[in-house]
Chains A and B, each alone.
Chain A
């Protein structure tokens, strides 16, 4: 290496680093931005931040039967419903204080018993059919060594994935609705996406040739409900603030553009966004941190607004429960029941509930998250179909 070049580079970076002082108000702005994104929720007395995200596309069963328990808490009912929490992941073990791999653990639903079993992986993501589980190991150190693998649920055996191009953000890598692929969103050095075959662990790279030519910022990739393509949310560069969706482009699994839908400005992306039947796209519209956000449901073909739904107080949108209902998590017990007019039968407020709301904004039913202690920290939960659960598991379905 040319020592003069090394010196020139060091000088150049040092000069660049000194061109400006840090802006004022970084921390308050970050706190407001985090609240705006509804990633954090205040929990009643624990005061612990909980980040919850669900991967629902394709793992939700078909349209639910007509509810007979309008506005009720599912913990008080024995009706089997189509959805269930299949895993809680990143649960903090309070007995471990060092940054060891045991810092977090996960709970996986056992479909044969309807109970959750503890597994020693800090991150798990079950496939839609429950046969396989994407697992990741890491600890709490600054740059934790990470390993990712696929666990066979029956045997517990894990096949570790050695490909370094996959990246570390596995939380954004969703199973396809049919469980045949795992969508790799952030591939190092690739302008496109990857498809990981869980049978062979072989990765197929799919370039998106139009990406380089479009003056847009890509925000997210999700599966289409039929599993035959992906949808990319994007924003126009010139006049839109960061992370604001202005359109969605659909691709088939070869990277060919199928169609582009303009959604208009002012909506934030989240996962997932497409309804299970593929007809609707739910977008979260801009709101102040003090107000409930509004979900705009647009037609997935025309982009026309079909519904606007106000989120329950303290609720964050997880996705679609079925074609006609949205699913929210309500974390903050301080803010009262999800919908006072409809949830009065639920009685006392709950610290963590999943609330199913129809497209007119009415609460259809809710279920209390009982697998983890109400004050226990967990990072994510995942939702899947309740098919195959014993009748005794009805109270945890929704």
Chain B
């Protein structure tokens, strides 16, 4: 990469690092892991910068973030839980009036999701993308996206029984 391209790459990263880092944080939930993830993707993007700069470099790198994060080669190292095919029985929900910090409990549950399940949730609820675009980014079919989404939510309910509070609210509001 010549000096002009390096300068352009640097300017791009400086301009878009906030947005990309937000995605990395949502994907990992952990500052150091987010830095590691973004740094890895940026380093891999450097050799291809001349090509990707002409298209949508942010989209390219954002896709690379998701694909890097969902590679199982990395997931093992991080000791992340891998969602089981068979979802165990759902634990008893707490009392509606219990003073729980649902947000904190939810974030803790998200941290225990398998990377691919978490990525599907980030793409749908953080990026607000339709299944078709999620499928493109994760390089899978739309039906796979839907099934992964369903499994992720099921797993989330197991990991965070307090989510039953929201089901109760939903029923009440109907």
- CA–CA, A244 and B5, complex, Å: 28
User: Interface of chain B, helix or strand or loop or mixed?
Assistant: helix
A142 touches B55 (CB 8 A): yes
11 of the cross-chain contacts (CB-CB < 8 Å) are A3-B170, A4-B170, A9-B106, A13-B121, A17-B22, A30-B43, A33-B46, A34-B44, A142-B55, A142-B63, A214-B76
Q: Closest B residue to A30 by CB, please name it.
A: B42
A6 touches B126 (CB 8 A): no
Chain A residues with CB under 8 Å of B153's CB are 5
A309 CB-CB contact with B under 8 Å: no
Chain B residues with CB under 8 Å of A187's CB are 72
Chain A residues with CB under 8 Å of B107's CB are 12, 15-16
B103 CB-CB contact with A under 8 Å: yes
A2 CB-CB contact with B under 8 Å: yes
Residue of A14, A22, A47, A190 near B126 (CB, 8 A) is A14
Min CB distance, A320 to chain B, in Å? Answer: 23
Chain B residues with CB under 8 Å of A20's CB are 21, 25, 31, 34
Min CB distance, A6 to chain B, in Å? Answer: 6
Chain B residues with CB under 8 Å of A146's CB are 139
Residue of A27, A92, A214 near B10 (CB, 8 A) is A27
A47 touches B17 (CB 8 A): no
Cβ proximity bits B38-73 to A, threshold 8 Å, 1 near / 0 not: 111011111111111011110110010001000111
Min CB distance, A137 to chain B, in Å? Answer: 14
A212 touches B76 (CB 8 A): yes
A237 touches B139 (CB 8 A): no
Chain A residues with CB under 8 Å of B13's CB are 26-27, 30
Chain B residues with CB under 8 Å of A219's CB are 73
Residue of B20, B50, B57, B166 near A2 (CB, 8 A) is B166
B100 CB-CB contact with A under 8 Å: no
Chain A residues with CB under 8 Å of B50's CB are 48-49, 377
Min CB distance, B41 to chain A, in Å? Answer: 9
- CA–CA, A85 and B14, complex, Å: 39
A372 CB-CB contact with B under 8 Å: no
- CA–CA, A165 and B116, complex, Å: 13
- CA–CA, A16 and B122, complex, Å: 11
A167-199 contacts to B, CB under 8 A, are 167-168, 185-191
B87 CB-CB contact with A under 8 Å: no
Residue of B5, B67, B125 near A6 (CB, 8 A) is B125
Min CB distance, A133 to chain B, in Å? Answer: 22
Residue of B12, B103, B137 near A15 (CB, 8 A) is B103
Please provide the 3 A-B residue pairs with the shortest distance between their CB atoms, ordered closest to farther: A47-B2, A142-B59, A217-B77
Stretch of A36-44, A257-265, A285-293, A321-329 that contacts chain B: A36-44
A33-68 contacts to B, CB under 8 A, are 33-34, 37, 39-40, 42, 47-51
Chain A residues with CB under 8 Å of B158's CB are none
Chain B residues with CB under 8 Å of A92's CB are 51
Chain A residues with CB under 8 Å of B90's CB are none
B25 touches A12 (CB 8 A): no
Cβ proximity bits B1-29 to A, threshold 8 Å, 1 near / 0 not: 11111100110111001101111011001
Chain B residues with CB under 8 Å of A19's CB are 25, 31
Min CB distance, A145 to chain B, in Å? Answer: 8
Min CB distance, A91 to chain B, in Å? Answer: 12
Q: From known contacts A13-B125, A51-B47, infer whether A28 and B103 are also in contact, taking CB-CB under 8 Å.
A: no
Using A26-B13, A242-B40 as known contacts, list a sample of 6 further A-B pairs with CB atoms less than 8 Å apart, ordered by residue number in A.
Answer: A6-B125, A8-B166, A16-B107, A34-B43, A49-B50, A141-B55
Chain A interface bracket (under 10, 10 to 19, 20 to 34, 35 or more):
35 or more
- CA–CA, A219 and B74, complex, Å: 8
A140 touches B47 (CB 8 A): no
- CA–CA, A34 and B38, complex, Å: 13
Interface centre among A19, A29, A143, A145 (most CB of B within 10 A): A143
Min CB distance, A354 to chain B, in Å? Answer: 19
Residue of A15, A47, A211 near B5 (CB, 8 A) is A47
Cβ proximity bits B144-159 to A, threshold 8 Å, 1 near / 0 not: 1000000001000000
Min CB distance, A15 to chain B, in Å? Answer: 7
Chain A residues with CB under 8 Å of B57's CB are 142
- CA–CA, A237 and B56, complex, Å: 35
Q: From known contacts A17-B25, A20-B34, infer whether A140 and B42 are also in contact, taking CB-CB under 8 Å.
A: no
Chain B residues with CB under 8 Å of A209's CB are none
Min CB distance, B137 to chain A, in Å? Answer: 6
Interface centre among A99, A189, A214, A215 (most CB of B within 10 A): A189
Min CB distance, B42 to chain A, in Å? Answer: 4
Residue of B4, B76, B169 near A217 (CB, 8 A) is B76
Chain B residues with CB under 8 Å of A161's CB are none
Interface centre among B40, B45, B46, B49 (most CB of A within 10 A): B46
- CA–CA, A47 and B5, complex, Å: 9
Q: From known contacts A31-B6, A37-B43, A140-B51, infer whether A9 and B121 are also in contact, taking CB-CB under 8 Å.
A: yes
B96 CB-CB contact with A under 8 Å: no
